[in-house]
């Protein structure tokens, strides 16, 4: 006499019946794309705003400013790229992923505080950017926080035992 047991397939345990598997974290993906986009934009700032011309009389200062901008842009791009990679990492995530997401959220929070305490000097026709820049950073803080916290699972109050077929003779 042999027994036959109904056992869920690998990867199905804990998933709602009929629900499609989630293949990526949308909040992390959006945060990574927006952060990477901001990094790529920052790489162009010295040329776009002609920083070299403004600092012609101070070549060491010009070199330092370009290096700081390039370094910042690279680190922001690396953070965005890591975030995109994390978005496609299945849960549960490791501690390093949580540190990356938390660090990026922390950076964008710092960015908001800096812009509110010491707003960028802008001409009158661009004054609306004083609100747009912190709003962009706030959106990223929210996205990184959502990615860090993860999806909330519905709690089941009643659970049915898994079906079992016992005692079937072949």
d(CA 15, CA 151): 13
The HSE-up count of residue 161 (CA atoms within 13 Å, CB side) is 4
Per the structure block, which two tokens stand in for 113? Answer: 């505080």
Check whether 58 has a pLDDT greater than 60: yes
**pLDDT tens-digit series, residues 127-168:** 999 999 999 999 999 999 999 998 665 444 455 566 666 665
Q: Where are the domains of the chain?
A: 26-149
**pLDDT tens-digit series, residues 110-125:** 999 999 999 999 899 9
């Amino acid at each position: 006499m042999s027994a036959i047991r109904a056992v869920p397939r690998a990867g199905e345990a804990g998933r709602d019946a009929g629900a499609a598997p989630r293949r990526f974290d949308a909040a992390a993906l959006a945060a990574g794309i927006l952060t990477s986009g901001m990094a790529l934009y920052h790489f162009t700032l010295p040329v776009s705003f002609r920083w070299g011309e403004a600092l012609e009389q101070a070549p060491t200062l010009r070199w330092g400013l370009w290096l700081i901008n390039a370094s910042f842009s690279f680190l922001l791009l690396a953070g965005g790229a890591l975030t995109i990679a994390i978005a496609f990492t299945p849960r549960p995530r490791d501690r390093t992923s949580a540190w990356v997401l938390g660090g990026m959220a922390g950076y964008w929070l710092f960015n908001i505080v800096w812009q509110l305490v010491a707003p960028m000097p802008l001409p009158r026709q661009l004054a609306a950017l004083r609100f747009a820049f912190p709003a962009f950073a706030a959106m990223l803080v929210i996205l990184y926080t959502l990615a860090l916290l993860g999806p909330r699972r519905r709690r089941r109050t009643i659970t049915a035992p898994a079906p079992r077929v016992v005692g079937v003779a072949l």
